[in-house]
Amino acid sequence: MRLALAIGTFFILVIHGVVFYNQFGHQWERNQHTYFDQARVFAKTDAERAALNGRKPRIEQIVVSNFGETRVDRCTTCHIATDDPRFGSYAEPVKTHPYSPALGDQQKNGKWERRHKFSEFGCTVCHDGQGRGLEPEYSHGKDEYWPDPLLGYATQENWRKDFAPKLKGKEYMQANCAQCHTDTAFPGTALVTKGRGLFFSSNCYGCHRIEGLSDGTIGPDLSDVGKKWKLDYLWGRIADPKSILATSIMPKFNLKEEDIKALVIFLKSRKGRNFAETEIQRFKVKLTGGAELVQATIKPVQINPAEMLKQGEKLVLDRACTACHKLGDRDGGIAPDLSYEGLEKDGPWIYEHFKNPKSTMPDSIMPAFRFTDDEFKAMTAYLLTLKGSPAPAQGDAIYKALCLRCHGEKGDGQGPIAEHLDPFPRDLTKSGFMNSKPEARLVASIRNGVAGTSMPAWGKVLSEEQAKAVLGHIQTTFTKEPRRELKAREIPAKNPVAMSQESVSRGETLFVNRCAGCHGKKADGKGPNSLDILPKPRNLRNTFFVNSVDDRRLLESILYGVQGTAMPSWINDGLTNNDAGDLVNFIRSINSKPKGGQNAGAVQ
Amino acid sequence: MSRPTAPKTSFLATLMDIPRNVWSSIFRNPLPSNDLERSATSFTNFFLHIHPVKVHKNSLRPAYTFGLGLISFFLFVILIVSGILLMFYYVPSTTQAYDRMLDLRGSVAFGTLLRNMHRWAAHGMVAVVFLHLCRVFLTGSYKKPREFNWVVGVILFLLTLFMSFTGYLLPWDQLAFWAITVGTAIAGYAPVIGKDIQFLLMGGTSVGQEALLRFYVLHVAVLPAILTLMIAIHFWRIRKDGGLSRPEDADPKVTLEPMETSSAPKASVLEPKKVYGFQGLVRGPLTKVGQIPDNTVFSWPNLFLAELFTFVVTLSAILILSLLFNAPLEEPVNALHPPNPAKAPWYFLGLQEMVSYSAFWGGIGVPGIFVLLLLGTPYLDRGPKGVGKWFSRDRLLANTIFITFVVANIIFVIIGTFFRGANWAFVTPW
């Protein structure tokens, strides 16, 4: 016991020794001694030497209060020679900070004068890093938790090894220059300006919001992305979005390395409000939406009627359409194949879709991009020339070529791009649905498409026989159950109730009582039960779809349900033909307002 | 009359004697060499008099207590000392707190060591207090007459958790901010008053300046005061409840004669017919004085050396930990950028894990039942058997229930700590 005690006590003593040693042997003191010794050699007068002899190592610090929150920069404790021009050729840390006209420094009477005086700017305003730190590891921000390591000079150990070397270089500091130098023509922030240009030309703005620049809503808001993330993360998210977040739906853009670098620098400079902005400036930008800034960035292509097709093609290919869509061998893997676009859609539809994607497809996630009308027209013209290659004759080959992208390899509606489509592609393995519909209707869906959804009209690509062949393939491979004789149903061919205000309000009451649980109070298919249901309840505000089906079909769906889905048969539940008629009138009434179409005249 | 002359040699002797006199005025006894002096040493010293003069051999068995209660106390002492020193540098302000942390790490003498010691001792205290609770339960030591001390102990455990929780916010880094956001959100799941408790804790609807100030005051003033008081009661009760628990057969059976109770007690039981020790009087109808074989040893040196040893080991362990591992300090608070996943402090991760299954049952229901069961244990389990033995057969049911709860919680903590990744999805740590 006593021996153990003695050993334990000795142990504590040893630990204290170690702690004291660590406490009093500072690297920065040694650095300052190095500086003093060398300065004594340089000294020309005795007074200077005496002054140096009187100096003892101490913590130097600059309190910077002009740039955001007050900073305490102790960098000059080690980098003590930063402002001493005699140490230009020495090694860090005891080295003169370079003078350069690019930094605004001027030479007067053979003496350099700094534009950015350290006593005013400190160090971290430009360089980042942790100003208060006194150990290189911490103060350079190499510690994994420091949000802003020395910009362009230090990388952190947990950063991806393949990116880290690319994240070094003085040019990254432009992100900090841009905190004050917001002028886009400023030569010192060329890469920030380039990145801003890429942000628009690569259509990043379609999905992402940056306060005062863009207002996309699909992706995360990037207004203060530079404050949230380190370079490593920004680079990774752009270069390979899925590598960082497997569920990311951001496409992998076809960017060159220097383009990624410019984008990273631009994003790093987005820190909410920068030093140059005042509250009132920011508020003004909010009011005007920053239109001037945007116009200064995107230069519209002057469309020349003779070269319209070529210019359209160039726009489609250059402006990252294929980051989502498939076109030839370029495939973004998010949005539908454009290869047959000219056969599936007509000019006004495509043009409308460009102007406002939701106007032709109410639940589309495609952002509205800011092209000029002429550019849109050129792109429309180009897309109309896309006819694809002739479809094969065999059912399975057709399915592979045209259907698989949405309906999936197993026909279950889980194709590679299915999750981005709304309504969801039909699950073709549900025999309840497939076998309750007459073959004619299924063929019609293939050849005429389904309005208001992503199902295109294949009529100009597939002949009646080809459509039947692919349907046969679907029946045998996915649905499996053979078709049966359909029971005749008693459905009025026309709505038995005339359209009237009373009928609509009766229908609305019925709808709220019986349908809103799944279809939602707004009839947008987003009722509380909709989350657990697949296929999702129909969005009954999808005017294109609702207007494309006749009363008889609506009545059938209401009265007899839709087999293979969650829609029940209401005829067994006390709903009369007249009730169903009221419901149909209600559904028609909420879709009666003309939607879109105001731009249709623009396209010949 | 010749005045007594004070010869110089005598004055010098006085001077020479000063150290010895000062010493003996402080410590009244010389190092003890016989039993009388040993007992005197114990009860004449302020710091030692809380101990009994003689201590039962069973209490000194290392494998019986593992010194867990003492370690908890010593960790508390370390925490107070290091905490007070840290208070000299800390400012509970959202704009300054993090900078102060950086100063502690970079430019304050011994700042890193102090912070590390405080952090590791705090984590250690939570763990050791819990182990101490397990020890007391598994040895059945909460039974009569120690019921109330068990309740005090459970309260001390909860206070320790709360103490650690309030301290968690003070560095004002991402770890702190989001752990407290999650922790207070768990409190918000309590029925009826949950939201109010959450609001009261945070002084607002989100963790901000008010929350920081509240947590600071709780951490450095309110809770330590309550904790100190409760510890004092805890210690006092140990003495009053007859020292540490021990098995019945630790002392050979003796037959005891009941006191004569036929005649009504006189105004004073202290009539000079019989002479009792005070202990014999307060304990009831049986007097044990002089009849129990002496199974005790003197506290000096047996108990005190053991305590000193425990202290040295505890301090060494904390110092070594503090030298080897730095207390984490993450990014400064960024309320716009929650880490994914945002995790509560590790000792609440079991709760958070359960909350991920059911907000009310995981956060309030199950832990509430557990705490109520703990508090009620001595009043529910009235069987007198199985005291003072680890995993006694007589207490199979109680021990099984307890171990089930504990193991379940430990498993949840482990899952929450190592197996939960982004969006609280199950991940493997390798």
pLDDT digits (tens, 9 = 90+) for B259-268: 555 555 555 5
**What proportion of chain A, given as a percentage, has pLDDT over 90?**
18
Secondary structure element (H or E) that encloses residue A113, with its range: strand A111-113
Predicted confidence at residue A126, as pLDDT, reads 92
What are the b/e assignments for A176-198, b being 16+ CB within 10 Å? bbbbbbbeeeeeebebbbbbbbb
Half-sphere exposure of B99 (CA within 13 A, CB side): 14
Predicted confidence at residue A297, as pLDDT, reads 64
Q: How far apart are CA B27 and CA B21, in angstroms?
A: 10
- The CATH number of domain B62-249+298-343, selected from 1.10.730.10, 1.20.810.10, 1.10.3720.10, 3.65.10.10: 1.20.810.10
Q: How far apart are CA A389 and CA A382, in angstroms?
A: 16
**Which residues are registered as beta bridge partners of A64?**
A71
Q: Does residue A288 or residue B53 have the better pLDDT?
A: B53
> Which whole number is the average pLDDT over B280-308?
69
Compute φ and ψ for A252, nearest 5 degrees.
-90, 115
What residues of B are in the A interface, CB distance below 8 Å? 95, 99, 102-103, 105-107, 109-110, 113, 173-174, 305-306, 308-309, 312-313, 315-316, 319-320, 323, 328-332, 334, 336-337, 422
Residue B123 pLDDT more than 90? yes
What are the b/e assignments for B274-307, b being 16+ CB within 10 Å? eebeeebeeeeeebeeeeeeeebbbbbbbbbbbb
Establish if A47 touches chain B: CB-CB under 8 angstroms.
no
Among B207, B231, B164, smallest CA distance to B338 is for B207
| Alpha-helical regions (H) of A269-360 | 279-288, 291-297, 308-318, 341-344, 347-355, 357-360
HEC per residue, A345-402 = CCHHHHHHHHHCHHHHCCCCCCCCCCCCHHHHHHHHHHHHCCCCCCCCCCHHHHHHHH
- Number of Cβ within 10 Å of residue B416's Cβ equals 23
Predicted confidence at residue B280, as pLDDT, reads 45
Q: How far apart are CA B12 and CA A133, in angstroms?
A: 56
Secondary structure of residue A468 in the 3-state scheme: helix
Q: Does residue A134 or residue B29 have the better pLDDT?
A: A134
Does A11 sit within 8 Å of B316, measured CB to CB? yes
Least CB-CB distance to B312: which of A8, A72, A138? A8
What are the b/e assignments for B58-73, b being 16+ CB within 10 Å? bbbeeebbebbbbbbb
Q: How far apart are CA A228 and CA A220, in angstroms?
A: 12
Does B331 sit within 8 Å of A147, measured CB to CB? yes
Residue A41 pLDDT more than 70? yes
Residue A396 pLDDT more than 80? yes
Secondary structure element (H or E) that encloses residue A209, with its range: strand A209-210
Measured between CA atoms, the residue of chain B closest to residue A134 is B106
Residue A296 pLDDT more than 70? no
> Which whole number is the average pLDDT over B179-193?
86
Among A266, A144, A99, smallest CA distance to A197 is for A266
| Cis ω for the linkage preceding A300 (within 30 of 0) | no
Q: What is the mean pLDDT of chain A?
A: 86
Which segments of A291-348 are extended strands (E)?
326-327, 330-331
Torsion angle of the four alpha carbons A159, A164, A169, A175, in this order, in degrees rounded to the nearest 10? -40
Backbone dihedral region for residue A394 (phi beyond 0: left; psi -120 to 50: alpha; all else: beta):
beta
Residue A32 pLDDT more than 90? yes
Banded pLDDT at A599 (limits 50, 70, 90) = very low
Q: How far apart are CA B249 and CA B55, in angstroms?
A: 16
**Which residues are registered as beta bridge partners of A337?**
A326
Secondary structure element (H or E) that encloses residue A107, with its range: strand A106-108
Q: How far apart are CA A92 and CA A97, in angstroms?
A: 10
* Tokens standing for residue A515: 């349908």
For chain A, the maximum distance between any two Cα atoms, rounded to a whole number of angstroms, is 115
Does B110 sit within 8 Å of A23, measured CB to CB? yes
Q: How far apart are CA A354 and CA A359, in angstroms?
A: 9
Least CB-CB distance to A8: which of B313, B328, B330? B313
Predicted confidence at residue B275, as pLDDT, reads 47
Among B197, B139, B220, B207, smallest CA distance to B394 is for B139
Banded pLDDT at B414 (limits 50, 70, 90) = very high
Which residues in chain A are closer than 8 Å to B316, comparing Cβ atoms?
Answer: 8, 11-12, 15
The position carrying tokens 């005749």 is A488
Give residue limits of the domains in chain B.
62-249+298-343
Strands A106-108 and A214-215: unpaired
Distance of CA A195 to the CA centre of its chain: 15
Identity (one letter) of the amino acid at B101? M
**Which residues are registered as beta bridge partners of A112?**
A107
Predicted confidence at residue B152, as pLDDT, reads 96
Banded pLDDT at A291 (limits 50, 70, 90) = low
Predicted confidence at residue A242, as pLDDT, reads 83
Does A1 sit within 8 Å of B99, measured CB to CB? no
Banded pLDDT at B79 (limits 50, 70, 90) = very high
Identity (one letter) of the amino acid at A185? A
* Tokens standing for residue A597: 């179409």
> Which whole number is the average pLDDT over B92-103?
92
Which residues in chain A are closer than 8 Å to B313, comparing Cβ atoms?
Answer: 8
Residue B269 pLDDT more than 60? no
Secondary structure of residue A303 in the 3-state scheme: coil
Q: What is the mean pLDDT of chain B?
A: 84
Predicted confidence at residue A598, as pLDDT, reads 45
Residue A544 pLDDT more than 90? no
Q: How far apart are CA B138 and CA B260, in angstroms?
A: 38
Does A2 sit within 8 Å of B305, measured CB to CB? yes
Establish if A74 touches chain B: CB-CB under 8 angstroms.
yes
Least CB-CB distance to B102: which of A2, A5, A133? A133
CA distance B244 to chain A (A): 22
Banded pLDDT at A482 (limits 50, 70, 90) = confident
Residue A171 carries which DSSP code? G
Q: How far apart are CA B163 and CA B118, in angstroms?
A: 12
The position carrying tokens 């707190």 is B97
Compute φ and ψ for A108, nearest 5 degrees.
-125, 125
Banded pLDDT at B26 (limits 50, 70, 90) = confident
Does B330 sit within 8 Å of A2, measured CB to CB? no
**DSSP structure string for A478-515:** II-SPP-PPPP----SS-SS---HHHHHHHHHHIIIII
Q: How far apart are CA A313 and CA A307, in angstroms?
A: 10
The per-residue pLDDT for range B329-382, each reduced to its tens digit, is 888 888 878 888 888 888 888 888 888 888 788 878 888 888 999 999 999 988
Of the candidate ranges A365-379, B118-132, B167-181, B212-226, the one whose mean pLDDT is the lowest: A365-379
The position carrying tokens 């045998």 is A476
Residue A484 pLDDT more than 80? no
Number of Cβ pairs closer than 8 Å across A and B?
A: 70
Q: How far apart are CA A442 and CA A346, in angstroms?
A: 22
Cβ–Cβ < 8 Å for B156, B129: yes
Identity (one letter) of the amino acid at A531? L
Residue B114 carries which DSSP code? H
Banded pLDDT at A334 (limits 50, 70, 90) = confident
- Number of Cβ within 10 Å of residue A511's Cβ equals 20
Q: How far apart are CA B198 and CA B183, in angstroms?
A: 9
Does B113 sit within 8 Å of A138, measured CB to CB? no
Secondary structure of residue A161 in the 3-state scheme: coil
Strands A71-73 and A62-64: antiparallel
Residue B162 pLDDT more than 90? yes
Residue A564 pLDDT more than 60? yes
Among B134, B201, B203, smallest CA distance to B168 is for B201
Does B336 sit within 8 Å of A227, measured CB to CB? yes
Banded pLDDT at A273 (limits 50, 70, 90) = confident
Predicted confidence at residue B138, as pLDDT, reads 92
Secondary structure of residue B2 in the 3-state scheme: coil
Residue B1 pLDDT more than 60? no
Banded pLDDT at A289 (limits 50, 70, 90) = low
* Tokens standing for residue A135: 């150990």
Does A227 sit within 8 Å of B312, measured CB to CB? no
Cβ–Cβ < 8 Å for B144, B379: no
Give, to the nearest 10 degrees, the angle between helix B299-324 and helix B111-138.
130
Angle at A305 between CA A302 and CA A309, to 5 degrees: 90
Banded pLDDT at B31 (limits 50, 70, 90) = confident
Banded pLDDT at A174 (limits 50, 70, 90) = very high
Cβ–Cβ < 8 Å for A244, A236: yes
**What proportion of chain B, given as a percentage, has pLDDT over 70?**
87
Measured between CA atoms, the residue of chain A closest to residue B99 is A132
The per-residue pLDDT for range B56-74, each reduced to its tens digit, is 888 888 888 899 999 999 9
**What proportion of chain B, given as a percentage, has pLDDT over 90?**
38
Torsion angle of the four alpha carbons A423, A424, A429, A435, in this order, in degrees rounded to the nearest 10? 0
> Which whole number is the average pLDDT over A119-143?
90
Of the candidate ranges A193-202, A267-276, A591-600, B231-240, the one whose mean pLDDT is the lowest: A591-600
Q: How far apart are CA A588 and CA A572, in angstroms?
A: 24
Predicted confidence at residue B264, as pLDDT, reads 53
Least CB-CB distance to A69: which of B95, B308, B309? B95
Identity (one letter) of the amino acid at B205? T
Does B336 sit within 8 Å of A224, measured CB to CB? yes
* Tokens standing for residue A51: 């002054």
Banded pLDDT at B292 (limits 50, 70, 90) = low
Establish if A6 touches chain B: CB-CB under 8 angstroms.
no
Residue B252 pLDDT more than 70? no
Least CB-CB distance to B336: which of A8, A18, A228? A228
* Tokens standing for residue B110: 């011994």
Give, to the nearest 10 degrees, the angle between helix B111-138 and helix B68-87.
150
Residue A271 pLDDT more than 60? yes
Compute φ and ψ for A158, nearest 5 degrees.
-85, 0
Residue B119 pLDDT more than 90? yes
**Which residues are registered as beta bridge partners of B323?**
none
Least CB-CB distance to B113: which of A9, A19, A138? A19
> Which whole number is the average pLDDT over B232-242?
90
> Which whole number is the average pLDDT over A468-482?
87
* Tokens standing for residue A158: 């947990």
> Which whole number is the average pLDDT over A529-551?
86
Does A12 sit within 8 Å of B316, measured CB to CB? yes
Burial class (CB in 10 A: 0-12, 13-18, 19+), A273: middle
